[in-house]
Structure 1
Amino acid sequence: MEKQFNSSESLALITEMIQKAKKEAAGDGSFQFLLWGWVIAICNFGHYGLAKSGFEMPYVVWLAIIPASIWSFTHAYRERRKARLKSHLDDMLGQLWITVFSAMIIVLAFMGTLGFNHSPVILVLAGIGVFCSGALIKDKSVKLGGLVLFLGAIVGFLMPIDEQYLVAGVSIVLGYLFPGYLLKSKFKNRV
């Protein structure tokens, strides 16, 4: 025999189900923040260090993006396939980051036209992605990370090109890694 719920029990059950669905939909978004935060920070700091030491091709460190991209896309694909709940939020976040990534590729393709002042522009684009992600998942620390990236872009535009890599590295640590670790901690507490 099925149990009959009164109105407050029904409301409590519905609320609990919605909360569970929100938790699963939001997932542990920290993976991408942490992966890209570490890779991009290391590449920026590596480029800066190599350029300051007089290395002829400091940009070689950016080849680390290739395996990181493969790992990122593979992880996202696997997570999407095993998710029991595919939400509009997941689709929005995916489309947002595909758009940001595409814009970054365009900027990098024309970095010579930009006088190699591409790092601050990349920070602006990353800031848009991070801030909007924070708004979509309703997380203030992620939104703050986006604002940090915007501030880093402003500082970067005021610096010589080699120094922009140092500014970008620090901005990525503060704007990607800190929010990423906070998301990871919040996810562990939710589950």
Structure 2
Amino acid sequence: MSEQIQENSQEKEFSPEESLQLIRSMISKTKDAVAVDSFYFLFWGWLVFACCAVEYVLMVYFKYPDHSFVWWSMPVGGIISGTYSARQARIKRSMTYIEEALSYLWIAIGLSFFVLVFVNIVSEAWKTAFTYYILMYAIGTFVSGKLIRFKPLVIGGILNFILAAVSIKFNFANQLLIGALAILISYIIPGHLLRIRYNTKK
């Protein structure tokens, strides 16, 4: 038994070159998996972009008092996204460590959004809400981009950190436009680039 354990431990030992190659392979596989599942970036990106644009038009041009009703599409989006995730989990048998780290990151980001929405409603801080939403976009996309070494996500994240800082100077209507821009450069464009990269690689 001890000899078998020793043999197993020896099998798990890697040279520095082999370890580096394993890490590169894991990153490559994760990048491909994220490219396949760019559904999340594109689905949430276009949904939030549309909500920002529609609320801005209702608020500024039509003076509609209940303009925020568009955000009730978020729970519907959550159901669609959850259904897609459950189907993918049945298809995919295993995950790399980086994929697992990414999943935990976005679960934390998602929970943070729910907390922020609750805080904004209770404290009536919704007038500056997008400053903090954009900050969440920045954290999620920057870390994701670094983990899978995909520059468009990293650049989108960095630009969103800047937009979050700048947005605090604008009123809510203009924050909606800044939010739409933030989601465009951090979710939608990188999501499409990821999918293009994967399709050209096949």
Q: Is the shorter-chain TM-score for this pair beyond 0.5, marking a shared fold?
A: yes
Structure-to-structure mapping, 1:125-164, within 5 angstroms: 125-164=136-175
Structure-to-structure mapping, 1:11-90, within 5 angstroms: 19=25, 22-23=28-29, 26-27=32-33, 28-52=36-60, 53-90=62-99
In 2, distance between residues paired with 1:88 and 1:190? 23
* SS, match of residue 95 in structure 2: coil
Stretches of structure 2 that go unaligned for 5 or more consecutive residues are 1-16
In 1, distance between residues paired with 2:159 and 2:79? 27
In 2, distance between residues paired with 1:176 and 1:185? 14
Identity level (%): 25
In 1, distance between residues paired with 2:187 and 2:31? 21
Stretches of structure 1 that go unaligned for 5 or more consecutive residues are 1-10
Q: Which residue is equivalent to 1:100?
A: 109
The count of corresponding residues between Structure 1 and Structure 2 is 177
Deviations 1:70-100 (A, max 9, x none): 1111112222221143211121111000101
Counterpart amino acid of 1:158? K
* SS, match of residue 110 in structure 1: helix
Equivalent of 1:110 in 119, 123, 131: 119
Q: Which residue is equivalent to 1:174?
A: 185
Deviations 1:41-78 (A, max 9, x none): 00111111111121010111111212211111111222
TM-score normalized by structure 2? Answer: 0.80
Deviations 1:92-137 (A, max 9, x none): 1110001011111111101142622111101101110111111111
* SS, match of residue 64 in structure 2: coil
Deviation at 1:147, TM superposition (A): 1.4
Counterpart amino acid of 1:44? C
Is the Cα contact below 8 Å between 1:44 and 1:168 reproduced in 2?
yes
